[in-house]
Amino acid sequence: MRFVTYDNGLGDDRVGLLDGDTLYGLAPGIDLLSLLGDDGERLHAAGQSARRDPYEVLAVGETNLLPPLPRPPSIRDFIAYEQHVEGTAKLVGKDGVNPVWYEQPLFYFSNPHSVVGSDREVPIPPGCAAFDFELEAAAVVGRAGTDLTPDQAERHIAGYMVMNDWSARDLQFREMQFGLGPAKGKDSAITLGPALVTPDELAPFRSGTAFDLGMRVAVNGVPFGEDRMTNMAWSFGELISYASRGTWVRPGDIIGSGTSGNGCLAEKWGREDRHWPPLKPGDEVTMTIDEIGTIRNTVATTAGAPHLLARRIPSMPRAR
């Protein structure tokens, strides 16, 4: 099944079952997060109910799709594609992949308040002159768990979406010189959508620990890069297992795969391909993962100049 969140034009967010170009709306007051929390039975029952007795029936073109989970509890973004790691390392003067990457999954927490849907404008962050996109897949945790094995974690997945982790590269590389981050470099926008696609929809494409699905990104209609989900070095089950180590994952948590190979400008720049400049206002970025869907956004003008902060004066007070 494919579930979407949409704007009914009356100021209410609604959840619906998407079947082709037809949307079967659920009753008002239901959000997608409230349908999670078990092994998928609640979500499946809601989809059957919507198809059998919909609150409303709309064509997709009659409404605006929002992020399926507009307010996720948390977002962990991993880095699971080796080609991306190797290419972006070159951009900061490093050859090869840090050995730690082969030993364990790596992630950072991103901003759940920055989530936007497809077909929305995305402003360039204040102070950014090297705005970039990142083509990713995202898994949604369906029920809570802690210290999960990879097999257990796989069964906790409620569905999948396309994800664009927008990146202010110049801000990111500057702040990460201190060994922290990314912070403001990844704080402005994350596109999620167009629908939450349940695992059974993708089962025919299962290949090993991933799905044999093509991933593509284009800028202003010009193909930019492509990869396949099967090139993930770490499976989503392994990513969620690691995320749950010593803590809890909760329903609605977003787990990003990290950028695919050929999925961002920074990788091209690292390989000395400067044919592609940073994104500018008016650019349209379109991302597709086979069987999951397509998201697109237009880059807008910057949100404004950053408010300047006074530099600190070096001082080393000595404690007695």
List pLDDT tens digits, range 23-32: 999 999 999 9
Q: Which residue has the higher pLDDT, 317 or 221?
A: 221
Position 177 scores a pLDDT of 86
| Residue 315 in this model has a pLDDT that exceeds 90 | no
- Of 139, 163, 158, 150, the C-alpha closest to 244 is 150
Residues 6+ apart with CB under 8 A from 116: 67, 122, 189, 190, 191, 192, 297
Position 115 scores a pLDDT of 98
| Residue 8 in this model has a pLDDT that exceeds 90 | no
| Residue 116 in this model has a pLDDT that exceeds 70 | yes
Helices and strands per DSSP (H, E), number in the chain: 8, 23
List pLDDT tens digits, range 189-220: 999 999 999 999 999 999 999 999 999 999 99
- Of 162, 160, 115, 117, the C-alpha closest to 141 is 160
**319: confidence class by pLDDT, cuts 50, 70, 90:** low
Using DSSP, state whether 85 is helix, strand or coil: helix
Mean pLDDT throughout 94-120?
A: 95
In contact, 41 and 35? CB cutoff 8 Å: no
List pLDDT tens digits, range 247-275: 999 999 999 999 999 999 999 999 887 78
List pLDDT tens digits, range 171-192: 999 998 888 889 999 999 999 9
| Residue 288 in this model has a pLDDT that exceeds 90 | yes
Mean pLDDT, the chain, rounded, equals 95
In contact, 241 and 151? CB cutoff 8 Å: no
**93: confidence class by pLDDT, cuts 50, 70, 90:** confident
Position 101 scores a pLDDT of 96
| Residue 49 in this model has a pLDDT that exceeds 90 | yes
In contact, 43 and 66? CB cutoff 8 Å: no
| Angle, CA of 278, 94 and 228, to the nearest 5° | 60
| Residue 125 in this model has a pLDDT that exceeds 80 | yes
Position 303 scores a pLDDT of 72
Distance of CA 45 to the CA centre of its chain: 26
- To which residue do tokens 């699971």 refer? 80
pTM over 0.75: yes
Mean pLDDT throughout 271-286?
A: 92
- Of 66, 52, 59, the C-alpha closest to 15 is 66
Backbone angles phi, psi at 50, to 5 degrees: -65, -40
- Of 27, 31, 24, 28, the C-alpha closest to 5 is 31
Q: Which helix (H) or strand (E) holds 132?
A: strand 131-132
List pLDDT tens digits, range 225-255: 999 999 999 999 999 999 999 999 999 999 9
Using DSSP, state whether 212 is helix, strand or coil: coil
Q: What is the largest CA-CA distance in the chain?
A: 75
Count of residues making up the chain: 320
Position 166 scores a pLDDT of 98
In contact, 53 and 237? CB cutoff 8 Å: no
**R_g of the chain, CA atoms, integer Å:** 20
